[in-house]
């Protein structure tokens, strides 16, 4: 493939209609969204290991569904990573360099994961791994979801990183297919929406086919990209709509309505309550029925969609929802959310070991705060020593262009909230 999706080497965007603050440049609410997603994943794991999820007849049904944070991460990735490509399709900017895109994704994900894997596995001994050099290459190469004997070993929550890495490889090719021809915005938006519909159909078909197969490989296939590409597609849908609005100068009244964020989050809450009361299994691994599988994934996706909408559309400095997402605590947690995600389960396992292996038999209020503090501490160290320096490499001359830093702005608050994240 050429070095750019449509052969445009320049990163300088052509002239475009003026955009609302939420449709171009920095997107200040996204670190807050990442914080919510990371905290929810930490919550589902601490609730299950403490026994809260299985002990509590009512609230356990809700803590079991905190795994919904993974869907939020996928929706966020779909939006942030596809937005530069679809902006190029609408003529807003030059096409992103594919090699630069992959390099920055590598620097964003790989160094911190390799550090976490090494320390968790060989220093803390908080996980189990299949021995041998072949297995080491599988873990370090994000391949554990493709091998039945590896999928429940290593840093087990890293299965989502394997899926993400597949998406990183896929998205430039997908963008190249949809952007090969120059079209006016009206035609391009139809092509984009048709492409997303196809992705959702592929995902549904893949999951339905996988549920009909009873084999060890089929159980790993539930974690492959086709099984979750519909969640990424929801974020891509937001990217398409926001780019189309910018290209055409459209400003629908709903996008800037003061009540839109509250309505959107209310719909997200409704989706969460709904999926929590479907009677789904509370165990982290189980074989769902076809109906439950479709309902769960649909509601997870809609939850992520409605949660993210206020961070994409409308004035980003207005309303309680956006204030909350931009608040300093959430923004700081969001900046280090990747490290929280990587490290929290190791600290859960260490806590169980330190307290005498009382699995499923201790209060949630003991496990959750300790895990949170340890995860935040290790994530902060990872961010300062590994993640931030690695990301800066992606902005060196010849690799990328460093955005000017505003005076007095904490780099943690601007680390990853741009459309190129």
Render pLDDT for 101-131 as a digit per residue (tens, 0 to 9): 999 999 999 999 999 999 999 999 999 999 9
The reported pLDDT for the residue numbered 182 is 83
Dig out the tokens for 303 from the structure. 């939850």
Mean pLDDT by 10 residues, the chain (421 residues): 33 36 67 97 96 94 97 98 95 90 95 97 93 95 94 93 97 94 90 97 93 78 95 98 93 92 98 96 85 94 98 94 96 97 96 86 90 97 96 70 37 39 48
Is position 421 within any domain? no
Is position 401 within any domain? no
The reported pLDDT for the residue numbered 25 is 55
The reported pLDDT for the residue numbered 168 is 97
Residues 86 and 239 sit within 8 Å (Cβ to Cβ):
yes
Whole-number Å distance between alpha carbons of 298 and 71: 10
How many domains are there within the chain?
1
Whole-number Å distance between alpha carbons of 181 and 178: 8
Residues 132 and 151 sit within 8 Å (Cβ to Cβ):
no
Tokens 């079209």 identify what position? 183
Question: How far from chain centre, in Å, is Cα 325?
Answer: 16
Dig out the tokens for 123 from the structure. 């220093």
The reported pLDDT for the residue numbered 397 is 63
Q: Residue 418: helix, strand or coil by DSSP?
A: strand
Give the structural domain span for 94.
21-396
Q: Residue 10: helix, strand or coil by DSSP?
A: coil
- CA-based angle 350:352:358, to the nearest 5? 170
**Segment (H or E) for 189:** helix 185-211
Is position 32 within any domain? yes
C-alpha to C-alpha distances, 408 to 73, 146, 252, 345, 414, nearest whole angstrom: 29, 46, 34, 35, 11
Task: Locate all alpha helices (DSSP H) within 249-355, ordered by sequence.
Answer: 253-256, 260-276, 290-312, 320-326, 328-335, 337-354
Whole-number Å distance between alpha carbons of 311 and 309: 5
The reported pLDDT for the residue numbered 111 is 97
Q: Which of 179, 297, 180, 303 is nearest to 228 (CA)?
A: 297
Is position 119 within any domain? yes
163 burial via Cβ count (<10 Å: 0-12, 13-18, 19+)? buried
Is position 213 within any domain? yes
Is position 66 within any domain? yes
The count of other CB atoms within 10 Å of the CB of residue 114 is 13
The reported pLDDT for the residue numbered 399 is 56
Residues 92 and 248 sit within 8 Å (Cβ to Cβ):
no
Whole-number Å distance between alpha carbons of 44 and 408: 37
Q: In angstroms, how far apart are the furthest CA atoms of the chain?
A: 65
Is position 402 within any domain? no
Question: How far from chain centre, in Å, is Cα 183?
Answer: 30
Is position 418 within any domain? no
The reported pLDDT for the residue numbered 287 is 80
Q: Residue 141: helix, strand or coil by DSSP?
A: coil
The reported pLDDT for the residue numbered 361 is 83
């Amino acid at each position: 493939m050429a070095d750019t999706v449509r052969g445009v080497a320049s990163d300088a965007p052509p002239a475009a209609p003026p955009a609302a603050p939420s449709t171009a440049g920095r997107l200040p609410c996204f670190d807050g969204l990442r914080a919510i997603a990371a905290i929810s994943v930490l919550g589902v794991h601490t609730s299950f290991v403490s026994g809260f999820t299985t002990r509590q007849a009512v609230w356990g049904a809700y803590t079991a569904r905190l795994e919904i944070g993974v869907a939020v991460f996928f929706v966020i990735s779909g939006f942030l990573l596809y937005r530069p490509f679809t902006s190029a399709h609408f003529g807003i900017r030059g096409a992103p360099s594919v090699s630069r895109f992959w390099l920055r994704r590598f620097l964003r994900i790989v160094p911190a994961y390799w550090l976490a894997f090494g320390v968790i596995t060989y220093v803390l001994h908080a996980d189990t791994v299949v021995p041998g050099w072949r297995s080491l290459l599988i873990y370090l190469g994000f391949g554990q979801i493709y091998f039945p004997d590896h999928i429940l070993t290593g840093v087990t929550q890293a299965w989502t990183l394997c899926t993400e890495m597949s998406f990183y490889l896929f998205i430039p090719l997908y963008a190249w297919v949809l952007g090969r021809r120059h079209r006016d915005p009206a035609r391009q938006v139809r092509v984009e929406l048709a492409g997303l519909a196809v992705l959702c159909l592929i995902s549904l078909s893949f999951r339905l086919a996988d549920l009909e197969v009873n084999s060890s490989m089929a159980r790993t296939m539930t974690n492959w990209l086709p099984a979750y590409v519909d969640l990424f597609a929801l974020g891509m849908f937001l990217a398409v709509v926001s780019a189309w609005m910018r290209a055409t100068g459209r400003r629908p009244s709903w996008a800037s309505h003061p009540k839109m964020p509250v309505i959107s989050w209310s719909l997200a809450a409704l989706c969460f309550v709904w999926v929590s009361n479907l009677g789904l299994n509370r165990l982290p691994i189980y074989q769902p029925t076809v109906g439950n599988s479709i309902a769960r994934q649909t509601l997870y996706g809609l939850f992520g969609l409605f949660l993210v909408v206020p961070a994409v559309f409308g004035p980003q400095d207005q309303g309680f929802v956006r204030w909350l997402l931009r608040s300093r605590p959430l923004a700081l947690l969001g900046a280090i959310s990747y490290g929280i995600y990587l490290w929290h389960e190791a600290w859960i396992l260490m806590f169980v070991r330190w307290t005498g292996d009382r699995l499923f038999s201790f209060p949630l209020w003991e496990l959750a705060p300790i895990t949170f503090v340890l995860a935040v501490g290790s994530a902060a160290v990872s961010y300062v020593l590994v993640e931030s320096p690695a990301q800066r490499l992606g902005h060196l001359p010849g690799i990328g262009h460093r955005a000017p830093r505003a005076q007095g702005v904490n780099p943690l608050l601007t680390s990853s909230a741009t459309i190129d994240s």
